[in-house]
Amino acid sequence: MRTNCSSGSACAANSSEEEELPVGLRAPGNLELVFAVVSAVMMGMLMFSLGCSVEIRKLWSHFRRPWGIAVGLLCQFGLMPLIAYLLAISFSLAPLQAIAVLIMGCCPGGTVSNIFTFWVDGDMDLSISMTTCSTVAALGMMPLCLYLYTLSWNFEQNFTIPYQNIGISLLCLTVPVAFGVYVNYRCPKQSKIILKIGAIVGGVLLLVVTVAGVVLARESWNADITLLIISCIFPLIGHVAGFLLALLTHHSWQRCRTISLETGAQNIQMCLTMLQLSFTAQQLVQMISFPLSYGLFQMVDGFLIVAAYKLYKRRLKNKHRKKTPGCAEGCRNERSTSPQETGAFLEVNEEIAVTPGTSEPMDPPVALEPTGPISSCAQ
């Protein structure tokens, strides 16, 4: 879809193929091509392993009663574009820089949110459902949000929505996850092993992609301190806003964490593709540094959230052991619990500490059998 395409220089983005692109955006060489292929393969394997944590019954319950998905879509295409617009206005950005920030805010959620959701014992079924639905909704919501928010700017530029990139992102998400769901259904024991390996591979992959991406695109970085500040606070504001909205709509703590991470994690590759399709090489020089820095700070924020959650979980466990005599010794002698059991334990303790409200209508929860130290200590 194209918006406000003038007959003059506004359409230069599609007719200036002879212009030289910035170094970080030129046709990929051998190293860049190998990096792209390896990253795609590893990401597919990672999503396959995360799909092994998804249960068909729970996944279907989210689509049958899509209250959590609806709140997530409201955060993704309601809060994030609004936050991007307010940041661009507050910092008095130049037109091209403001457009880059707005495009980032209008993009759907990225698959990196699924990895962080798994590490914080979030609702993986809801996380994958939200990522899938937001990618599908982006087909219409991206051009709509860009049209609405650029009306007041009188910005005459044709925006090329990367529909092909959206379709590829959807396939790369749904196909590996579908295989993972099937493996979890047919071989639940093997799926747990795959899931543990995938969690380790995911951490390594995120670090490698972040470092390699920064190095390969180092020539495209712009030392604009204002864009760096926005790229630092933008994902944080998204996480906080998503968590608060989920809390106000009476979701469980587990779903609040999931919606929070889904809200702040954007699809960086889709933003880069749209910028390359819609703007000339000279314009890209002023814009390209924002999605790159946003992706870097998005990773940093995600790791900080995971670290804070792990510390919080450890404090809850230690506090519970002190209240239960003889629990510490028994917990050391038994095997560790599964993520589902740990999440259930944390939900109980969090609900005792602070209750956010009555959750939305959903299927009755299934009680977990006491197979680990946490369950045995809680008795």
Greatest mean pLDDT among 29-43, 91-105, 179-193: 91-105
Residue 295 φ/ψ, nearest 5 degrees: -60, -40
Domain segments of the chain as ranges: 35-314
Please check the confidence at residue 366 and state whether its pLDDT lies above 70: no
Which amino acid appears at position 74 of this protein?
L
> Tell me, what's the pLDDT at 259?
94
> Tell me, what's the pLDDT at 109?
87
Radius of gyration of the chain (CA): 22
> Which pair of tokens denotes residue 226?
């204002």
Which amino acid appears at position 206 of this protein?
L
Average pLDDT over residues 66-76: 92
> Tell me, what's the pLDDT at 339?
52
Average pLDDT over residues 57-73: 88
Rounded Cα gap, residues 179 and 162, in angstroms = 26
End-to-end CA distance of the chain: 59
333-351 pLDDT per residue, tens: 444 444 554 554 455 555 4
Rounded Cα gap, residues 264 and 105, in angstroms = 9
Please check the confidence at residue 237 and state whether its pLDDT lies above 70: yes
Q: Which residue has the tokens 């805010």?
A: 105
Please check the confidence at residue 236 and state whether its pLDDT lies above 90: yes
Please check the confidence at residue 229 and state whether its pLDDT lies above 60: yes
| Lowest-confidence region among 174-183, 210-219, 299-308 | 210-219
161-181 pLDDT per residue, tens: 888 878 888 888 888 888 888
Q: Which fold has domain 35-314?
A: Na+/H+ antiporter like fold (1.20.1530)
Please check the confidence at residue 114 and state whether its pLDDT lies above 60: yes
- In the 8-state DSSP scheme, what is residue 78? I
Please check the confidence at residue 9 and state whether its pLDDT lies above 70: no
CB 245 within 8 A of CB 75: yes
Per-residue confidence band for 217, with pLDDT thresholds at 50, 70 and 90: low
Please check the confidence at residue 223 and state whether its pLDDT lies above 90: no
CB 264 within 8 A of CB 235: yes
